[in-house]
Amino acid sequence: MQVLVLLDSVNRTGGAERALVEMAPHLVRAGVTLDVAHLHDSPGGWQPELTAAGATVFAVGRLSRAGTAAALRRLVRERRPDLLHTTRHTTDVLGRATALATRTPVVSSLLDPAYGPAQLSTHDGGPWRTRAGRALDTATARGPRRFHALTRHVATTMARRLRVPRRRIDVVPRGLDPNLLGTATPERRAAVRAALELAPDAPVVLAAGCQQYRKGLDVLLAAWPAVRREQPEAVLLLAGAAGPESGRLRTLAEAAGNVRLLGPREDVADLMAAADAVAVPSRWAGQGGTAIEAMGIGVPLVCTDVPALRETVGSEDYARLVPPEQPTVLAAALTDTLDDRAAARQRAKAARARFLTSFTLPQVSAQMVEFYERALRVRPV
């Protein structure tokens, strides 16, 4: 089976890009001939890792949209993949049009609950652009043979918003390699803390994610002074690429105190292993990659009780779940996690067991191969 995955880019800050890089060796070992095409140049991106995994990488971006579309059509006709897999809005619309022109079967991933009231009110391009994007997405959504969603919540939500039958959407979560993640051992914790110049016994909370409104980092920073009143030595680490909220977050961080903005990091797993708690204060989510990573490493987790995160985490047996947009409640949950270490460790142990049964890369990669095979068996709509 030959699959051509179409990405916006192969830069190192995107979740979809990272997920493909981590899954690529497993797909290739399962017999998939993997091609990856990207629209935008990504110097210093994931190209070496994808090539080492056995994928072939192509840059199809051109100066104009027409040029990019023509380059992608040429690539599809040359490579003749069994399936074209699109991953985000721009690639969805372009890829589906290309699939139609080249008579290539196409599948699309649904990564987030897009086009809802929250997205309409916060999209950088304004509500009109979001509505136009939804119209294009809906108009071309008859093309894919099947859709892939990260969670049941995303599948149900987007089936309604794109007017796609729910039965055409398969749920395959993202996964991680437990061997690469490792666990939160005392030795690892001590080494990472020493490198960060953190006191061995300082209470440390980590949040990892791009600095976007959806991530709710402003809510976490609003909660932080209340945490410090109970834990004066507590340190908050924020790891993630800059984004639309960066200026505001810097101001909030300075006011909150004991906050370190670490910028984009490729050692988030190590940072988690050095933390006493991981916070995921998202306003909405498609799955919750940070939550899965914390579960896999075995670090106590505090996250918002939004549908996709609850689906990923499971219940309060595995993490503290708090309502979104409520810094007082978030502060209380973080303080309790730092205070009651025994209960927090018990939740983290249960969460890691859940991770091992549901979110490891071999399991998830096998499910993705089954998704591709199922799409090839479906008759064109």
Task: Answer yes or no: are the C-beta atoms of 309 and 225 closer than 8 Å.
Answer: no
Architecture of domain 2-175+361-377 in this structure: 3-Layer(aba) Sandwich (3.40)
Task: Give the pTM.
Answer: 0.93
R_g (Cα) of the chain, nearest Å: 21
For the chain, the domains span 2-175+361-377, 178-358
Tokens (6 digits) for 209: 């994610």
Per-residue pLDDT of the chain (381 residues; tens, 9 = 90+): 999 999 999 998 888 899 999 999 999 999 999 999 999 987 889 999 999 999 999 999 998 999 999 999 999 999 999 999 999 888 999 999 999 999 999 999 999 998 888 777 665 556 677 788 889 999 999 999 999 999 999 999 999 999 999 999 999 999 999 999 999 999 999 999 999 999 999 999 999 999 999 999 999 999 999 999 999 999 999 999 999 999 999 999 999 999 999 999 989 999 999 999 999 999 999 999 999 999 999 999 999 999 999 999 999 999 999 999 999 999 999 999 999 999 999 999 999 999 999 999 999 999 999 999 999 997 755
Torsion of CA 88, 90, 95, 98, to 10 degrees: 180
DSSP summary character for residue 176: B
Q: List the beta bridge partners of residue 236.
A: 205, 259
**Cβ-based neighbour number of residue 329 at 10 Å:** 16
Q: Tell me the CATH number for domain 178-358.
A: 3.40.50.2000
Tokens (6 digits) for 362: 């071999």
Q: How far apart are CA 20 and CA 91, in angstroms?
A: 15
Q: Is 72 helix (H, G, I), strand (E, B) or coil?
A: helix
Q: How far apart are CA 336 and CA 319, in angstroms?
A: 12
Dihedral sign, CA of 373, 376, 377, 381? positive
DSSP summary character for residue 212: -
Tokens 């001939």, residue?
33
Torsion of CA 320, 281, 290, 56, to 10 degrees: 150
Report the candidate in 283, 281, 227, 277 with the shortest Cα–Cα distance to residue 257: 227
Same fold, 2-175+361-377 and 178-358: yes
From first CA to last CA, the distance across the chain in angstroms is 21
Tokens (6 digits) for 55: 């994928």
Residue type, 168: R
